[in-house]
Amino acid sequence: MEALPMHSTTTVLDLLERNARVTPLRTFCLQLEESAGKLQCLTIKYETLIQMVCNCQIWLKSHLPTFSTDISVAMLLDSDVGLIVHLFAAIGLGIPTFLLSNRLSPYRLRNLLLSRAPLVLLASKSCMPLAKEALELFGTNMQVRLQCSLQYQELLVPLREKTEKLHHGPPAHKAFALHTYGEGPPRFFVLPHRYLMTLADSAASGHGMMLSTFPLQHCCGLLAPMLSLTLPGVSFVATPTSWIPCADSVVQILRQFKVKSLITSPRILEHATKVPGGTSHLRKLDYVAYTSDVLLYEVGQQLAAAGVKLINVFSTAELGIISSLTYSPNRDWRFFRLRKDVLCNTIFSSDSECKLEIRPSGCNGYTRLDGTFIRNTTTSTDFRLMERSDKVVSLAQGILVRPWVIEDALNEHVNVCKALVYVLDPRVVVVIEPTTDMTELQRSQLEPDILSLIEDAFEYGQMHDLEKEVELEIIFCDFPRTVDEAALRDGIYKEIKRDGSMNST
């Protein structure tokens, strides 16, 4: 089926109203619910969805301290249809909205709130303990009003008068914000409404029911509802509240709810091959898209040989999904293919290795992507991300070091703004930028915490005495301000290699 026609002024609320008017009984999503260990589903049709959004707008207008597009609201909600309803309602009201993952630690949540200073933190009932713990870390330095949100079940009950209509004003210029996932501390990107419409225009192939294992606070989680709004033949499965994806539950959903397409992480795909019947269920799908990391070559080859239609997808919080979601049997599963509406500058460092500068449709300038890419020798629009060469490093004494695990552990610490780890056998160099300026005494007091986190991050059971078995160097310094993660890593690495160390500041 063809996608609904869109113009440059088309909004999310336009698509919602059009679907509710033309196909009110079409399914927007299946909201899964767990009951007595079994999965059940609640069908959300478009006539129901528009009522839920209208109800949510009424509730937001009556519960915000002041109704104005000058305020901003942070949403710490469960990844279910209720989040979509709150987001659409806020967009219709023109309220800038910051989406927060409910999997953040209190420290990272606090730091994200500090970076945007919202007036209201809207939290679902299950997220209230996390929200309160994060706000307690502020002390009296910041005033954020904490408000408990409505659950999606409450939004199903009519809250409006029959004469009440959906509020559909122009979306705010900075409509909403997503934060990064993965390496390093998360940071927000404030995004225009056009970002959502680009997801809706992703030129995806396939039809029927779609499943994404990514949370709705992630661009790959938002993809499914936006495609449902756009493609008449597409609906999606909204996973149960507080669901943590794993291969077993994914295969169960594929089997039980006749899913036709899947977007997931490489790790879940790798484990799905070990689930009884997992590969056969994946083979039945129109496509299986994976993103966020590199899929192990042997696993990809195994799945491709079994007839699974793999698509490598590249996405970032800042730019959204910049690659095509269309499957082609002649396409190498290791490479993602840039969308036709994405402009790209390729900066080669060798015959095949390169940096990419990307300009999605509607953007004013180019953005350099983190990491190094390899271009397919047969197709100029196909690339794959090079895997970090230091993902697992073995020191001469046989100790395994996983720099990214150490970095993740350190980046959780309240006094660490960012940490980078370099393995220069026999040394392990840990470079830390503190959240605030520190005296020598404060740094020495912080070091035991740092050592404890590093020791915990090493392979369990292989470390007896960290300081005796590993030549560990901890450096405190201010990092140069750059949005390019790869350039930051390379710059500090070169300085360490040149000087044998770095000058602490």
| Percent helix, percent strand, percent coil in the chain, to nearest 5 | 35, 25, 45
Domains and CATH numbers, the chain: 8-200 (3.40.50.12780), 393-499 (3.30.300.30)
Q: Yes or no: say if 76 and 130 are a contact pair by the CB < 8 Å rule.
A: yes
| Structure-block tokens of residue 409 | 């552990």
Q: Give DSSP secondary structure letters for 229-258.
A: HH-TTEEEEEPPTT----HHHHHHHHHHTT
State how far the Cα of 393 lies from the Cα of 114, in Å rounded to an integer: 36
| DSSP-based three-state secondary structure for 154 | helix
Q: Is 204 helix (H, G, I), strand (E, B) or coil?
A: coil
Residue type, 437: D
- Coil, strand or helix at 311: strand
Tokens linked to 145: 């009003």
pLDDT in tens, 32-73: 998 887 899 999 999 999 999 999 999 998 888 665 555 689
Give the alpha-carbon dihedral of 391, 394, 399, 404, to 10 degrees.
-10
pLDDT, tens digit (0-9, with 9 covering 90-100), for 360-417: 877 778 998 877 899 998 888 999 988 655 555 656 555 667 787 788 778 878 788 8
The HSE-up count of residue 163 (CA atoms within 13 Å, CB side) is 0
Q: pLDDT (tens digit, 9 = 90+) per residue, 1-44? A: 445 555 556 889 999 999 999 999 999 999 999 888 789 999 99
| pLDDT digits 0-9 by tens, 132-170 | 988 888 776 677 889 999 999 999 987 555 546 788 777
Rg (CA), the chain: 24
Tell me the mean pLDDT in the region 450-478.
Answer: 68
412 class by beta-carbon count within 10 Å (0-12 exposed, 13-18 middle, 19+ buried) = middle
DSSP collapsed to 3 states, 454-466? HHHHCCCCCCCCH
Write out pLDDT tens, residues 156-210: 987 555 546 788 777 666 788 898 876 556 788 888 888 888 887 655 666 789 9
Under a CB-based contact definition with an 8 Å cutoff, are residues 179 and 28 in contact? no
Q: Report pLDDT digits (tens) over 275-319.
A: 999 999 999 999 999 987 788 888 999 999 999 999 999 988 888
CA-to-CA dists, residue 146 to 76, 122, 133, 298, 317, angstroms: 10, 6, 11, 48, 26
